[in-house]
Chain A
Amino acid sequence: MSGMLLEIENLHTHFLTRAGVVQAVNGVSFTLARGEILGLVGESGSGKTVTGFSILGLIDPPGRIVEGSVRLDGLELTSLDQEGLRQVRGKRISMVFQDPMMTLNPVLSIGEQMLLAVRAHERITRRAGLERAAAVLTRVGIPEAATRLSAYPHQFSGGMRQRVAIAIALLHRPEVIIADEPTTALDVSIQAQILHEVRELARESGTALIWISHDLATVSSLADRLIVMYAGRVVEQGPVAEVLSDPRHPYTDGLLASLPANARPGEVLRQIPGNTPSLLDLPEGCAFAPRCARASTICATAPQLTHSGPRSWRCHHPLGAGA
């Protein structure tokens, strides 16, 4: 696995709450190549956001990375100190959050906030910094960027705010951008636009992208490779086309079946029955078993990872060719 830009290995992130230990991320491993676009999908609550924050060391107490490693080009991020992490954040790995209404500071002007982000990693005059900011705003499709620098977030629409957040993420041409459902909170008409733009920007600058979404349809139009998460674990991964056409894990299959595009006319959308399990005390075995039509007694034990070429899955009763 050497030569990979980002290697995440056996990552465990837990929250020590009063009710008990929430095992939000529970042994996640995956890699990311330079310039690759990786889609990270799973239902809400499956640990996608926590995985993203864990990579950047942004887990606040009572959360903690209890085990595992995150290596960026060989640099172990989990053992970096505060300052070491700071130098990586925004410079080598950036992140765009889900809700653009909450991420920008309402009482600082756009220019001021971007300047802070520029100066986090560069000694630069105020003027040159603002010029840089305006240039990047123009790249993400904000018209009259130079004059908009003095505006405040409340004067922007949700889509515009998310563009500003994307611009901040792009400022230092990072090697990786983690985009955590950046279009979920936006109007449908703007979603596709932003999706397209971010892909172009990433391609242009050779930036690798981890695109997090609960919506398989969105991700599959964008990503090179898919990672499917369920209850804090990766249950399946592989190239997008293969995973979509020939899913191995029943959960992936269920997600696919629930897509509107896959429904036959007149048929009700097939939802996966049941709910996501509580992460407080996960069972030993497969967390999906209670909702799975293929489950048997063996599913009470944890399924091991099965590899096949560029694909892998974690299931006792996989579908398709491997079964």
Chain B
Amino acid sequence: MLGFVIGRCLQALVVMLVMSLVVFTGVYAIGNPLDILIPPEAPQDIREATIARFGLDRPIWEQYLYFLLNVLQGDFGRSFIYNMPVLTLILSRLPATLELALAAVLGATLIGVPLGIYAGYRPTSVAARLIMGLSILGFSVPTFWVGLILILAFAVSLGWLPAGGRGPTVLLFGVPWSFTSLEGLSHLLLPALNLSLFKLAMMIRLARAGTREIILTDTVKFARAAGISEATILRRHVLKLISIPIVTVFGLEFGSTLAFAVVTETIFSWPGLGKLIIDSITSLDRPVMVAYLILIAALFVTINLLVDISYAALDPRLRGGRGA
């Protein structure tokens, strides 16, 4: 197990190194930040001082090596726009996105899996048809549109929930969170709902397909022959057997939501990473883009590692080692 984890960490390092190289050259190619950093009418000496300060006059490979050396010391550079360390900037936005993504994926799983199991268990029932209708809706309706409708309905017309922003935050372990207060939760609800719709649809499909398959197996028939109730069969046998694909998708969705909650964060003015990266792209804030993408790669690798570890926890056949 330890060897496995170490191997995966080395793998992660390579992934991040490659990622940094690709991102660095890619971002280098898309435009010159000088046009944004310095007003066109600025005198030549200010121009040159700025260029020198950010190291923009050196060749790209030198800039990259310099960047890499700094990263190894925990320094991802300074944002051109915010004029603060990039790492501090990203970490200040991370909690907002983290709780939004977690709320969305967790909510989708906790609601979608039971619905999907039911739809797979009673595929011809009216309720199952309604559930599947909901999942088709979740797949096909664009997120931004649902976001706008949610705002129109619950914020503008009914006035029950705030239309955007994160609301007040409460410090927990020195990190600001919204979910710990009622007011914060009310801000979190709509964007999380918006983000979770697609994931809900996916979890429903996944749980339904798994359940339909497993309910026909000899394992379930044998459990029935032993007098085990349907509820227990679903809770203990089926849920455990479908959990591996669900955990996989949970991890993937959590990762991609962390990285790409852009649309929802923009619609709901949620001050998270998505907004930060969009802003940094429009302003060609190169250090932010590079650091962000590298961190996202690190997050994906970490999530994958956790998913792999939970496989072993969920399926004894993957544990290897002991046994007869």
Chain A contacts to B: CB under 8 angstroms? 53, 56, 58, 60, 82, 86-91, 94-95, 97, 99, 102-109, 112, 116-117, 120-121, 151-152, 154-157, 160, 165, 168-169, 171
Q: CA separation between A103 and B317, bound complex, in Å? A: 16
Which residue of the partner chain, among B221, B236, B323, B324, contacts A108 with CB atoms under 8 Å? B236
> Known: A89-B225, A94-B225, A97-B221. Is A116-B232 also a contact (CB below 8 A)?
yes
A199 to B251, CA, bound (A): 51
Interface: B58 (CB within 8 A): no
In the assembled complex, the Cα of A87 lies from the Cα of B315 at a distance in Å of: 31
Q: Which residues of A contact B219 (CB under 8 A)?
A: 102-106
Contact check: which of B221, B236, B316 meets A106 at CB < 8 Å?
Answer: B316
Known: A105-B241, A107-B317. 11 other contacts (CB 8 A): A53-B221, A86-B227, A89-B226, A94-B225, A95-B225, A97-B221, A99-B218, A102-B219, A108-B236, A116-B226, A117-B228
Cα(A95)–Cα(B226), bound, Å: 8
- Let me know if B230 is at the binding interface, CB within 8 A: yes
A175 CA to B76 CA, complexed, in Å:
74
Rounded to whole Å, the gap between the CB of A309 and the closest CB of chain B is 35
Judged by a CB distance under 8 angstroms, whether B223 is at the interface is yes
Write out the residue numbers on chain A whose beta carbons fall within 8 Å of the beta carbon of B314. Answer: 107
Contact partner of B229 among A91, A107, A120, A155, CB < 8 A? Answer: A120
The residues of B with any CB-CB pair to A shorter than 8 Å are: 216-219, 221-230, 232, 236-237, 240-241, 314-317, 322-324
A155 nearest CB neighbor, chain B only = B323
Task: Find out whether the CB atom of B225 lies under 8 angstroms from the CB atom of A90.
Answer: yes
Residue numbers in A under 8 Å from B228 (CB-CB): 86, 90, 116-117, 120
Residues of chain B within 8 A of A154, CB atoms compared: 316-317, 323
A117 engages B227 (CB within 8 Å): yes
- The interface residues of chain B lying within 8 Å CB-to-CB of A155 are 322-324
In the bound complex, how far is the Cα of B227 from the Cα of A171, in angstroms?
11
Interchain CB contact under 8 A, A117 and B226: yes
Q: How far is the CA of A27 from the CA of B105 in the complex (A)?
A: 54
Which residues does chain A contribute within 8 Å of B317, judged by CB atoms?
Answer: 106-107, 152, 154
Closest to B232 in A: A116
Say whether B230 contacts A82, CB under 8 Å.
yes
**Other-chain residue from A58, A89, A102, A117 in contact with B217 (beta carbon distance below 8 A):** A102
B216 in contact with A56 (CB, 8 Å): no
CB distance from A109 to the nearest CB of B (A): 8
29 of the cross-chain contacts (CB-CB < 8 Å) are: A53-B221, A58-B221, A60-B216, A60-B221, A86-B224, A86-B227, A86-B228, A86-B229, A87-B227, A89-B226, A90-B227, A94-B226, A95-B225, A97-B218, A97-B225, A102-B217, A102-B219, A106-B219, A107-B240, A116-B236, A117-B226, A117-B227, A117-B228, A151-B323, A154-B317, A157-B324, A165-B222, A168-B226, A169-B226
Least CB distance, A76 to chain B, in whole angstroms: 18
Q: Is the CB of B323 within 8 A of A89?
A: no
Using Cβ atoms and an 8 Å threshold, which residues of chain A touch B240?
A: 105, 107-108
Complex Cα–Cα for A171 and B237 (A)? 19
Is the pair B324, A156 in contact by a Cβ cutoff of 8 Å?
Answer: yes
Query: Whole-angstrom distance from the CB of A93 to the nearest CB of chain B?
Result: 9
Please name all residues of chain A whose beta carbon is closer than 8 Å to the beta carbon of B227 when the two chains form the complex.
86-91, 117, 120-121
Closest chain-B Cβ to A48's Cβ sits at a distance in Å of 16
Q: Would you list the 3 A-B pairs with minimal beta carbon distance, nearest first?
A: A90-B227, A155-B323, A90-B226
Counting chain B CB atoms within 10 Å of each CB, the highest count among A97, A116, A121, A157 belongs to A116
Residue contact A116 to B316, C-beta cutoff 8 Å: no
State how many angstroms separate the Cβ of A218 from the closest Cβ of chain B.
Answer: 21
CA distance A60 to B241 in the complex (A): 20
